[in-house]
Chain A
Amino acid sequence: MGIAAEAIKDFKGFNLKNMPEVEPLSPGHRACQGCGEILALRQAMKALGNNVIVCSSTGCMEIVTSPFPQTAWNVPWIHVAFENTSAVVAGVEAAYKAMNRKGIINQPDVTFLAYGGDGSTADIGIQALSGAMERGHNFIYICLDNEAYMNTGIQRSSSTPWGAATTTSPVGKKSKGQSTWKKDMPGIAVAHNIPYVATASPAFPVDLMNKVKKASMIPGPAYLHFYSPCPTGWRCGGEESVAVARMAVQSKVFPLYEVIDGQYVLSRKVAKPKPVADYLKMQRRFRHLTETDIQMIQERIDADYAELLKKCGVEA
């Protein structure tokens, strides 16, 4: 049994009827109405509880939780810059390791969490993240993927899906929006041979919280990729956040899986997948796409999902 499997073998899991009451992230934060990103972060924090140190990259989740003189954080939290949160958390983790060993403190059970958006994770911060994962620090990294730079006004990132309109991948006579396919960040994390990688969605809160809790129990780096709907940037109603997130899973656009000690495990098989078109039409960032475009996306999604099923050893 690998170290991750060993660490989580007795884990029981959360259930909806009996959620922990703890809210390390307090209300009063300034996220948009219906923000799916802070919803995912809130669920994650509930799973982690209070014995945690949080390192935030620059982004929506930093700006909406920390305007001076208030903080929405009930746990220690630090923001330094955009691209370096993985390095900051590495420093915090190393400091705790050294100070515990030297008897300066006696706090061996603290969890170290770093989070950033998709721009922070897949673009500007990928080097620091890669370094921290490669060095094996004991931390959890959460990518809150809302598929563009939302904090600065909806610019494209390498995690923006093909065809999405953003302010720097606009639709025009010669453009259909984003011209590249979404970067496979979880795949990049897996390539670092870390003990735990998982994808999760706030539309499936128990699954998300279980994965966060497991990540905290496993020694070494854990990478979690959260689908984080942004009604403002995706141009859908605030009340739609959870529905879009659910549809993303049901249409195979955002499959839920874990990679435990390098072994892929499908979290839920999409038995009767909804058409990708149903997902796309919920968001006005895709409204310019033609049927041919959508068909091409559907084929790509089908192929990626088939590949994932193969990795998970599940029959199509």
Chain B
Amino acid sequence: MVEIRFHGRGGQGAVTSAELTALAAIGEGKFAQAFPSFGPERRGAPVMAFVRVSDTPIRTREKVYEPNIVIVLDPTILKIVNVEAGLKEGGIVILNTTKTAEEVRKETGIKARLALVDASKIAVETMRVPITNTTMLGALLKATGLISMDGLRGPIEHRFGPIAEKNIKACTRAFEETVVEG
């Protein structure tokens, strides 16, 4: 079972990212859960969302304490949240950032393997909004292969309707531009 924790700000789509990931996995015949951190947070506040993906039925309702994957949708979150907390041995942190791996490590002290992409730039250029939920899913695909682009297409189309294509474009571009540490 793979467990993922998404970090973002309310309104940026961390919850949507988590949902789309689970829906893609379910669409591919896997078992999955997606759920937000159920707080009173409103637009702008730091929020989390969680995903579990498994080949067998998932039988737990605990929160995710020890994720295999952490995804950070907003670069400014790094300054206020220890996103590496609880990350499993061998886990990966996927960041939306303009910085290099070295700079990130220096500033945040993250020790885990990193995958980096300038998702905000991609989102603005492709969709004209700095909402990085679908963009960061491209990074997730690239960094982990947990779900496939084909699997994501359906849930994105269902969710975004007329603007689905732009989201898929952003996702695809992020896939191409994400730099994953070996």
Establish whether A and B are touching in the complex (CB under 8 Å).
no
Which residues of A are at the interface with B, using a C-beta cutoff of 8 A? none
Using a CB–CB cutoff of 8 Å, the interface residues on chain B facing chain A are none
